[in-house]
Amino acid sequence: MTDKEQQEAMAVTTPPYASDPLAEGTVDAVVIGGGAAGLNGALILARSLRSVVVIDSGAPRNARADAVHGLIALDGTPPSEILRRGREQVRQYGGRVVFGEVVSAEPAAPSVDGDLRFTVSLADGRHITARRILVATGLTDVLPQVPGLAEHWGHSVVHCPYCHGWEVRDEPIGILATGPASIGHAYLFRQLTEDLTYFTHGTDLDEDSRARFAARGIRVIDTPVTEVVNDEDGALSGVRLADGQVVARRVLAVGPQMQPRTQGLEGLGLPVQDLPNMARGFASGVAGITEVPGVWVAGNVTDPVAQVGASAAAGALAGADINKMLATADTDAALQKITKASPTAATR
């Protein structure tokens, strides 16, 4: 299975919903990404009486999961329901949510008073102009090339002990190692089960870690895994090794490679940096500010380990910072207008 085929097997879109018409003229902010970070950023902006449009491609990272966990007051809520409520709340304050795929975003000629402008183009040919941009496109998980693995993603194949751990507690769990970070992964899942097997799958495991695993009763298997085995009902029942042996497991924990969703955003010239388990991710500072004036980032596209709550919080901080910068720009423009009309008026 190629990476593309794997992503197609793992991909789940949000349930269909009515898309708002794309706003005409220039809006205060365009949010690229309709997940927790993007929607919460848009909510803050809309509640500040800012014109804001969210562009949602409809393919959230956690769409395969049955529920979001570890989020106070919303623990156990399906991801699709959280997003539905989020869209509804953004619209309640005048924001728009548009279903579409961004193919380009780039700076445009500034306004007559020198304020920033950006043009965002969609795959269907529509365009929108914005004063500021919040990028909250998230990331894509890329699993090891093991036949049968992708079909169980989000259910019997999991990655986060905090998102899924309680639901798989006391099950026979296997750690399918993808690199050094899998060692720490093993200790966290050992907290959840006494039956844990660590499949090195071609990765290195030093003697100290082997000794520590032995002390915790973690079995280590160095023979490579060749495929995931299902029972007669299609549920994950184990893994087949290169020597033909089948090791019974009900759950596999794997740390996927995380690829930030940056397609179509090249024109913004956003700086990137190395991030844990990611090829490259967008660099950001406090409140998601970037080195590119007028552009902020929030959520997994810049912080790969952020859960839903953390991503939403990051979006809120970015939205507040965007509003603050817009307020400053509005004041500068008003002062400039007065100064042009009467050079001495501004100093009275």
Q: What is the CATH number of the domain that holds 273?
A: 3.50.50.60
pLDDT at res. 15: 72
The predicted model gives 77-101 an average pLDDT of 97
Residues 249 and 166 in one domain: yes
SS3 106: strand
**Mean pLDDT taken over the chain:** 93
Please check whether residues 166 and 103 belong to one and the same domain.
no
Say whether both 181 and 229 belong to one domain: yes
Amino acid at residue number 97: V
Q: Are residues 27 and 96 in the same domain?
A: yes
pLDDT value of residue 98: 97
| CA–CA distance, 297 with 290 (Å, rounded to integer) | 7
8 in the same domain as 78: yes
Dihedral angle at the C-alpha atoms of 53, 17, 301, 96, nearest 10 degrees?
10
The number of angstroms, rounded, from the C-alpha of 288 to the middle of its chain's C-alpha atoms is: 14
Please tell me whether residues 262 and 135 are part of one structural domain: yes
Angle at 61 between CA 21 and CA 269, to 5 degrees: 70
- Provide the pLDDT for residue 126: 97
Last residue of a domain, one of 226, 255, 284: 255
Q: Are residues 67 and 51 in the same domain?
A: yes
Query: In whole angstroms, how far apart are CA 337 and each of 11, 42, 59, 325?
Result: 51, 29, 44, 18
In this structure, is residue 346 part of a structural domain?
A: no
Distance spanning both ends of the chain, measured CA to CA: 72
State whether 214 and 300 are in the same domain. Answer: no
Residue 27 structural domain: 3-140+258-341
Say if residue 101 is in the same domain as residue 20. yes
Q: Rounded to whole angstroms, how far apart are CA atoms 222 and 190?
A: 19
Residue 172's pLDDT is: 98
Q: Please indicate, yes or no, whether residues 214 and 266 belong to a single structural domain of this protein.
A: no
Q: How many domains does the chain have?
A: 2
* In a shared domain, residues 47 and 125: yes
- pTM attached to this predicted model: 0.91
CA 24 to CA 148: how far, in whole Å? 47
Q: Distance between CA atoms of 147 and 123, rounded to whole angstroms?
A: 33
